[in-house]
Amino acid sequence: MAFTQFDRPILATMHGALIAFGMMMVWLAYRGRLTVAAVLAAHILPLFVAFACLFDNVPDGMHRATHLHFLAVALGSYFIFRRDGIYLKYGVSSLCLVAFVVFSNVSVAFHDPALVIPAWAAEVGIWTNTLTALAGLVFIALIMNADLSARRMMDIEMRKAIAKADFQLHYQPQINEAGEVVGAEALIRWQHARMGIIPPDKFIPFAEETGLIVPIGNWVLRAACAQLAQWEARPETRHLTMAVNVSASQFRQPDFVQTVSEIVRISGVTPSKLKMELTESMFVENVGTTVAKMDALKEIGIIWSLDDFGTGYSSLSVLNSFPLGQIKIDKSFVCGMLSDASNMVVTEAIIDLASKLNLQVVAEGVETDEQFHRLRETGCRIYQGYLFSPPLDVDAFGELLALKRTGSEPLSRHLSKLPTPDFV
Ligand code: C2E
Ligand code: CA
Ligand code: CA
């Protein structure tokens, strides 16, 4: 408003655009698109600051302060993107620091009085910019400190949980065409004394970063094998297979093959009933070592499954370069296959290719009858998803098997009779 009154339409437009941009960020954050908002902010804010510096023509004897905002953006973007790739983590913050140095030492700015900030506003601006940039830096430092404390707490809590084995496995049934349960995927939950049941998405990424996933993963494998051994001991559950998720850092351990072989041997389970799920990201580096490890465990009978297929960036050659026995079509394809023709084409192509390569296909995230029928028509033979059952604790899973044995209705119809799972 003030800039319009003082005949500075460009400056007024710039401030209007900044307000609109801020509102867009709030809207994106409200819609849960935090990553998009962060990436946009990290690219657009430095441009705004650079532009503002050009219009910031301070009176003689004073120094401009607009460029101080580069420091806040640099620190903020480094913090937000600290777990991302090199460009986002270092690129954006380095550019901001370079811009800070340039605008500190070179007096690049417009000098046309019709463009630049009026003298009275420039003086106010110096103080406002210094204080707001400083407030930004303090705010980010406080958030960084709070994050550090939270991570330290999480680390302590997780180490305690590992020592006390405060974890639980839930089992999501895998169903064949006839609606019979042929196996289960073991999915971990953390039973926290205060916070209740914590889902894997909330702690597995942290465990991966800190390396704590290795003892957790070994616990999962031991618990899953113990359960599989119990199933094998009873005629009515002898046929069941067990799928276990393996994280990248767990797989990278030099003694991974030895540890897994040992756990499987001690449990006494038939290794071919165990399916170990890897994701595409693990196939990008150290191909030779990866294949050697997979071969060694395949040798004793363990089946390798490729999880979340289609979501990574690896090429289709992964399917015949690695000793896989199964692929799992990611739930995003299953979810979108009926509404999006290209999703359907991709799903059909994956199933076709897998059958030609002799790979078993499991469709994940099957939620509706239509998806189930379409997948069956397309040639997929094993299904997993809320249509049949969410992951269940061992008792509820046992009940489901019992219901399935006695009942003749489709599995999904029995769900209302089962206890509610912890979260879905
Ligand atoms: P995932 O391996 O892709 O597991 C499937 C996830 O999809 C599970 O979430 C399951 O509850 C959910 N799901 C199953 N059916 C449906 C459906 O019909 N619709 C939708 N929208 N979702 C469905 P959960 O249990 O929260 O696990 C999330 C992820 O955490 C897993 O994804 C896996 O990557 C990881 N995870 C779980 N347990 C372990 C573990 O023991 N070790 C490791 N390394 N990762 C684990
Ligand atoms: Ca999985
Ligand atoms: Ca999956």
**pLDDT digits 0-9 by tens, 239-275:** 999 999 999 999 999 999 999 999 999 999 999 999 9
Model pTM greater than 0.85?
no
Cα 187 to averaged position of ligand 1 atoms, centre (Å): 6
C-alpha angle 263/267/273, rounded to 5°? 90
Cα 293 to averaged position of ligand 2 atoms, centre (Å): 19
Mind listing the pLDDT tens digit for each residue in 384-412? Answer: 999 999 999 999 999 999 887 776 555 55
- Beta-carbon neighbour count of residue 189 at 10 Å? 22
Q: Which of 175, 190, 245 to mutate to test ligand 1, by most ligand atoms within 8 A of the CB atom?
A: 245
How high is the pLDDT of residue 414? 46
Cα 250 to averaged position of ligand 3 atoms, centre (Å): 17
Ligand 1 binding pocket includes 385 (Cβ within 6 Å): yes
**Dihedral angle of Cα 412, 413, 414, 415, to the nearest 10 degrees:** 60
How high is the pLDDT of residue 3? 63
Mind listing the pLDDT tens digit for each residue in 275-333? Answer: 999 998 888 888 899 999 999 999 999 999 999 988 877 677 888 889 999 999 999 98
Closest CA to 412 of 91, 179, 70: 179
Ligand 1 binding pocket includes 330 (Cβ within 6 Å): no
User: Residue 329 in contact with residue 309, Cβ under 8 Å?
Assistant: yes
Answer CATH for 165-415 from 3.30.70.100, 3.20.20.450, 2.60.120.560, 3.30.1330.30 = 3.20.20.450
Domain limits, the chain? 2-151, 165-415
Q: Residue 71 pLDDT more than 70?
A: yes
Backbone φ, ψ for residue 175 (5° rounding)? -115, 145
How high is the pLDDT of residue 5? 63
Residue whose CA lies nearest to ligand 1 atom number 22: 365
The distance from CA 171 to its chain's CA centroid, rounded to whole angstroms, is 21
User: Residue 43 in contact with residue 92, Cβ under 8 Å?
Assistant: yes
Q: Is 308 helix (H, G, I), strand (E, B) or coil?
A: strand
Ligand 1 binding pocket includes 421 (Cβ within 6 Å): no
Q: Which of 212, 364, 422 to mutate to test ligand 1, by most ligand atoms within 8 A of the CB atom?
A: 364
How high is the pLDDT of residue 1? 55
Please tell me the distance from the alpha carbon of residue 270 to that of residue 267, in angstroms, as a whole number: 9
Ligand 1 binding pocket includes 208 (Cβ within 6 Å): no
The distance from CA 90 to its chain's CA centroid, rounded to whole angstroms, is 21
